[in-house]
Chains A and B, each alone.
Chain A
Amino acid sequence: MSADTEVQPIVKMCGITIAFPGVLALDGVEFRLLPGEVHSLMGENGAGKSTLIKALTGVYSLDSGTITVAGRERRFEATADAQAAGISTVYQEVNLCANLSVGENVMLGHEKRKYGAIDWRATYAEAEKHLAGLGLEIDSRAQLARNSIAIQQLVAIARAMVLDAKVLILDEPTSSLDRGEVEQLFGVIRDLRDTGVAILFVSHFLEQVYEISDRITVLRNGKLVGEHVAKDFPKDALVAEMIGRELDDLAAISDRADRAIDRSGTPVLKATGIGKRGVLSPADLEVYKGEVVGFAGLLGSGRTELVRLLYGADRSETGEIQIDGKSVRIHTPRHAIDHGIALSSEDRRAEGVVADLTVAENMILGIQARRGWLHPISKTEKDAVVKEYMSALGVRPANPNVPIGNLSGGNQQKVLLARWLATAPELLMLDEPTRGIDVGAKADIQRKVAELSEKGLSVIFVSSELEEVLRIAQRVLVLRDRRAIGEIESHSVDLDGLVDYIANSEEVSVMR
């Protein structure tokens, strides 16, 4: 620990605050990065990780706070400024130009010149030198697109070396790599660290974070939670810090949900061995009438993937699905809708609301889709449906004729919920229905789910907020590293128990 304080940090961020309309993305965050360390930035979605990175790379400007790089205070107006200060970033989606050659991508903007013209021979020689420095022996004149994502990622790192980066930010670099490629990348990362480069590593794979990191900083809800030395920071403590455990007054909902489910009959949904290579290992699941099943696990654990396979948004390669005891094919969302399954997607903006349509139009979309476009819905029927759900869910403003884009996140979510409820589904799947919305709206939505399940609706509830899952689900399916690792009755476990289960379940092996 004492060594930490003696070394001067290469990057020091003080009191970083960034606000977007309606959201405080970062709230006075402190962060420091030492030369020659691998530092992981952890936090759930919306915790502020990417905002912090974008502040450091000059994509976002600060509302307040200071960034000091190598002892000098800096203001970054653009990515180029950050690069000039020695900060380079390798993104998850490789941000290179696939149409250019490998060598050009490494050298772009820094080509060697002779008499004012680019000297290609020298430029490629320089590129090859940097590629070889990372142990890459590939044809530097070949098009970048002909190389695998893993190689492209290393090419992006080679580019950072050309810029003489003192700080290298790796944002989810491993999410599309296989085990061998991850090892190769980690080898390169360790070599760079040993030469004194400071590496900021972001990944949602806990194993990888512990394998590579020297220190870990945790963010939650835009605030700094803690900075730790990785080897003295147990995994469950990390998970607990990431998820947080704020107390709330939602006990009533919890009581309501705490009831026995009759599991003697035929399950509404029974999935056996459903999975897809590279996406999710085969998983089993049963959901009974009136039951709420929660999916718990960290981001990237396979929660959303399982939901999408059940809905036919992605096509499963293995397993079968039974609805009410009958074996059915669900290859497209249309099949799912026909069998009374509805999904409210995780990505509200991209896959849910149609921002330019009004609230009423958005609500009607679900019924319309279920009926087919050739069967218009009469105006009276439409008005009745809209009126019913506007008041049942308490959508604000109570005017159904405003564009939904003008509503707050929570109210948009209510409209989406209404859209699917109006189709009278047997099974409603809610993926992150409460993400990024305020506490009041969260409670409204949870209350509504509890109420509907009492009336016999089956629900799959996916959320990264574990208290929520425990509160409204009767049974929790725990996922980790793209596998279903177990099922728990929610009344038999408290939050600590669940966190512990996610972090330390024996099922979890070293192999990924």
Chain B
Amino acid sequence: MSTTDTTARQSTDVATTISTFTGRYVSLLPTFAAITILIALLVGAELYFGNFLTPRNVSALLLDNAYLMVLAVGMTFVIVTAGIDLSVGSVMAFTGILGASLIASGIPVIIVIPVMLVAGAAIGLLIGVLVQYFNVQPFIASLAGLFLGRGLAYVVSLNSIRVEDPVLVWMRTRIPLGDFYIAPTGIIAIFTVIIGALVMHFTRFGRTVYAVGGSEQSTRLMGLNVARTKVMVYVISGLCGGLAGLLLTAYTGAGYPRNGIGTELDVIAVVVIGGTLLTGGRGYVLGSMIGVFVFGTIKTIISFMGAEQSWTHIIVGVLLLVFVVVQRAIVSRSQQKE
């Protein structure tokens, strides 16, 4: 008698624990899925190739994708508000070529870097204002930003401009960490992720970003500043575009107006794979970082296999499809709970 009582109580305890857990953390599930996929990819590749998880490869994973990571941070802010920013690739190209040309004309790097960041943020501001005050769809407004950025990049220069500035050269210097190495560009990317995550989680602005994505109408009625929040996320995304332009220029040693064509789609893909809902309201900056690693790992695996790089996009496309469906299922299940 008493034993059945205890088992019954234990099982209800377990049931409550599970329901408390799912009640609290259901939105983390897609990100857990991304981590699982990343681990599976890394372990699978190591088992298959035998020499995949080398310090060199792992270090390159961060450095090769530093610019993507920075863009993904900005994009996460935008997508969590249920917006989208298609301009990031061309903003990166524009600020990159702008910086390279300013440095080439002898302007000190201490001025050039802020100018690059401000230029990115300014395009973001323009998009944000269009979205918020002129009621333009984010897709359309940022498409305008995409063309504007690309056009401005060509205005600055039609050809690649080499950068020999010592600061930018230093930024790609490899600092050894045992067998691993890192460069300042990678450190900047990691810092951007950390700052992004802290802002999202520990500031009222960050929480308002989530609230807007959940329900813009409610957020307004709750007395929060929706307009400022929505403009700010595009400014942040533009700023990240400027920073990515700096990282890419430092990394490649040149500014090039054709950089980042189609990058905006890669960025959106990694953000979604990292667990951010395109419908807004849910997502994590750290998840987007995982998404970047998944993307980078797939790219490396493809080049290990000696296959065409276009396979990267096929595989990322399939992953994206699976993730969107999984997210859809999670959302509709949590809505049923009402």
Binding site for B on A (CB under 8 A): 78-80, 83-84, 89, 91, 95-101, 104, 108-109, 111, 113, 116-118, 139, 141-143, 145-146, 148-149, 159, 163
Contacts and interface: CB of A to CB of B under 8 A. Distances in A.
Contacts, number: 90
13 contacts: A79-B221, A79-B223, A96-B215, A97-B215, A99-B213, A109-B204, A109-B223, A113-B204, A118-B201, A118-B207, A142-B23, A145-B338, A159-B222
Contacts of B207: 100, 104, 108, 111, 118
Pairs A-B, 7 closest by C-beta atoms: A97-B214, A142-B23, A99-B281, A99-B214, A80-B223, A117-B202, A95-B218
A111 B27 CA distance: 21
Interface string B203-223: 110011011011101111111
B137 interface: no
Contacts of B208: 108-109
A481 B201 CA distance: 47
B77 to A, nearest CB: 15
B160 interface: no
A96 B224 CA distance: 12
B211 to A, nearest CB: 5
Given A117-B203, A142-B23, A98 B215 contact: yes
Nearest to A138: B23
B26 A79 contact: no
A108 B203 CA distance: 11
Contacts of A141: 23-24
B222 A95 contact: yes
Interface residues of B, number: 32
B282 interface: yes
A291 to B, nearest CB: 42
Nearest to A149: B338
Contacts of B201: 118
A97 B211 contact: yes
A163 B215 CA distance: 20
A109 B224 contact: yes
B184 to A, nearest CB: 27
Contacts of A109: 204, 208, 222-224
Contacts of B211: 97, 100, 108
A130 to B, nearest CB: 15
Given A100-B214, A104-B207, A146 B221 contact: no
Contacts of B220: 79
Nearest to B335: A145
Contact of A139 (B20, B198, B221): B20
Given A97-B281, A148-B338, A143 B23 contact: yes
Contact of A111 (B20, B204, B215, B335): B204
A111 B203 CA distance: 9
Contacts of B24: 101, 139, 141-143
B212 to A, nearest CB: 9
A98 B223 contact: no
Interface string B184-205: 0000000000000010011110
Contacts of B203: 116-118
A96 B225 CA distance: 15
Contacts of B282: 99
Contact of B27 (A95, A99, A139): A99
